[in-house]
Amino acid sequence: MRKIILSALLLLLAASASAKTPDQLRADFIDQMVERYGFSKREVTRSLYQAELRRPILEAIARPAEKTLNWSQYRDIFVTPSRIGGGVEFWRRHADTLARAEREYGVPAQIIVAILGVETRYGANTGGYRVLDALHTLGFHYPRRGKFFREQLSHFLRFAREEKLAPTKPTGSYAGAMGVPQFMPDSFRIYAVDFDGDGQRDIWQNIDDVIGSVANYFVEKGKWRPGEPVAGPAQGVTEEHQALVDAGAKPSLNVEQVVSAGIEFSPRPPRGGKVSLMEFDTHDGKEYWVGLDNFYAIMRYNPRTKYAMAVFQLSEAIRERYAQAAALPSAG
């Protein structure tokens, strides 16, 4: 036992000795931006000098809601009368653009609307942190995921150069997500589109670009399958089915495999399609759902099952309310 403890301590000390300080990481980052992407050392140094370390960002990322809340609590945040009503109003105001996006990309209007509802309350809360501060803080002072956030900082500086923006101007979430759809910088560079043809990709103020960019993301990154269902409740799940749950949220189970285990669910995927079996902890016990490929497409936006389920259930509530409103006779 002493040898095991000693070995563990030696490994810990070696790791600590090899870990780089924030200043060393910044120096490496500057060199990479110069060598790989043609920046001058002066401009990268100036951008980093303008960034501020924000302690509240480190506190916020340590307690994400997905990890601290059960499904009942999480759902009560996002699937609410105000977000449903706000989604219907957003759909009404931007119906033509949403219809065009659905025609061109095959992504249902209610899914696009629900994403924006969950992310920023339809643009009402896009985050008040400077993106430069967020990515600098997490890239150089959050070792657990520092590499990821330094990569995002690299994308952000390239994005600012490409879009001719001062790096200190864009604002977003504590994690550096930007605009109404909360795109990370790499997602902006790859998936954002100029949906209204004005020559700019603006996901902060231009709702046409916001809608088109979310639809394009779902097709290109999420591999959205037009016309196919998303998810449905599962009945008959017991502790004996834990292995099916443990297979993960990415659809990998044959329909026959699930049905033969005594589990009933609807809707079903197209012939040959795969599904996943998901477990959600609620105030009243466990709740089970079957996810299809389009549920996993939502998870490509945020890889948490609770997030994807919130988007799906909000989208269904918005769709139903919008259809009801459209069916009502107009006044006068």
User: CA 286, 288, 289: angle at the middle one, nearest 5?
Assistant: 155
Contact call for residues 108 and 114 (beta carbons, < 8 A): no
Looking at the DSSP bridge assignments, the partners of residue 275 are 253
Amino acid identity for residue 15 in this structure = A
Active site residue 59: no
Which of 35, 102, 104, 119 is catalytic? The answer is: 119
Q: Residue 318 and residue 111: Cα distance in Å, rounded?
A: 9
Q: What is the three-class DSSP state of 286?
A: strand
Q: What is the three-class DSSP state of 277?
A: strand
Element (H, E) at 22: helix 22-37
For the beta carbon of residue 285, count every other beta carbon within 10 angstroms.
7
Q: Which residue has 């990268």 as its token pair?
A: 44
Q: What is the three-class DSSP state of 216?
A: helix
Q: Residue 254 and residue 1: Cα distance in Å, rounded?
A: 46
Q: Residue 154 and residue 135: Cα distance in Å, rounded?
A: 9
Instruction: Tell whether omega for the bond before 251 is within 30 degrees of 0, i.e. cis.
Output: no
Cα–Cα distances (Å) from 234 to 83, 121, 219, 274, in that order, read 26, 30, 27, 15
Contact call for residues 225 and 290 (beta carbons, < 8 A): no
Q: What is the three-class DSSP state of 306?
A: helix
Retrieve residue 206's tokens: 């231009």
Residues with active-site annotation: 119
